Amino acid sequence: MYPSSARPNWGTFVASQVRSLEPLGVESDLLEIEGYKSKWNYLRAIFEMRRRIRTKSYDIIHAHYGLSGLVARCQRRVPLVISFCGADLLGRVNAVDRITFGSWVLAILHRWLAHWAEAVIVKSAEMVETIPDCKPALIANGVDFDMFRPLDRNACRRELGLKESGRYICFPYDPLEKRKNFAAVQDAVTLLNAERKKTSPASDSVEILVVNDQPHDRVPLYLNASDALVLPSFSEGSPNAVKEALVCNVAVVATAVGDIPELISHIEGCYIVAPTSEAVADGLRRAFAHGGRVKARERLSRLSTDTVGQSVLDVYIRVLRKRNSSFMRRHSDTKPLPERLRHHNEVQQYGIT
């Protein structure tokens, strides 16, 4: 989960977290595991990780996603922090809302792994419940408030070549990912367009903006051009696109998965719906009637990348204190602690099928 030219919007929240730690004095080396290309890359990553540890002094290894955590735990010299992202602890749901057998086995393995890390970070209260005895830190992914901000809707539509008078909903995911339930979005739009054709034949139809292969810095254009973001997913951890839409004051229609209920349940103009086409269509009707703009940005200030970066750094510091590391002994009282933490090794999960 790290952006690349081939997958520009993949794992952007991890890259944002790395950047947010730099001003706090954390220097990172990135080890990407391209698991989506070959599962053998996990084995190769073990040897590469151990080689790096031998040649450079690290204070922390921070692994993102469970399989990366398995790689990172194949050493005991450097303390390990694992960020679980959702499906790695909860399992991956298929198109009929059932956890697949393979992902269930991996989830059990990852829950066992959590007990062997020095610290664990999860994204939602639902994930905390899977490993309560590990006392995980609940730190949702952060949002870049400078990049994601309210923009003029018509100006965004003109830049994207869209009709200013149209109705657009944003689906910022791969439609082929079954747990995102894109079929319900398509059927909901079909229902809405049938209604519009019957009541007002001359009106513009509702269109879906699928944003799956765009650079991250163009996503705000699509969000601000949309009347709503829709996510009828069967399972989530802490979907960043929902938070990004809210920071842009764009309405959200989504199912009650992951931390979505905590994010939107008290925001007027956002709606929790069942993962059915009829429920999604009803939520979109209400979002359109509300006007598509909501007042959410100020409520989410706690999710700025700066705030989240400091929370992650606090986890590192607790681990180092507990380990009574040579790092802590070397820098016991001279400088403010964030200035002392200089190296951490990012072991990245780069896609899994």
- Same fold? 12-141+304-349, 153-301: yes
- The pLDDT tens digits for 192-204 are 999 988 887 767 8
Strands (E), 130-185: 137-138, 167-171
Across the range 115-141, mean pLDDT stands at: 92
- The pLDDT tens digits for 177-234 are 888 999 999 999 999 999 988 887 767 889 999 998 888 889 999 999 999 999 999 8
* Six token digits for residue 6: 């081939």
Domain 12-141+304-349 has CATH 3.40.50.2000: yes
DSSP H stretches of helix in 84-135: 87-90, 101-114, 125-128
Residues 6+ apart with CB under 8 A from 192: 206, 281, 284, 285
The pLDDT-based confidence of 30 (bands split at 50, 70, 90) is: very high
Region of 214 on the Ramachandran plot (φ > 0 left; ψ -120 to 50 alpha; else beta)? beta
pLDDT confidence of residue 55: 92
* Six token digits for residue 138: 């609940």
DSSP secondary structure, 259-270, as one string: THHHHHTTSTT-
**Residues 297, 150: contact at Cβ < 8 Å?**
yes
pLDDT confidence of residue 12: 81
Across the range 27-55, mean pLDDT stands at: 92
Residue extents of the structural domains in the chain = 12-141+304-349, 153-301
pLDDT confidence of residue 327: 53
Architecture of domain 153-301: 3-Layer(aba) Sandwich (3.40)
What interhelical angle do 12-21 and 305-323 show, nearest 10?
Answer: 70
The pLDDT-based confidence of 334 (bands split at 50, 70, 90) is: very low
pLDDT confidence of residue 338: 53
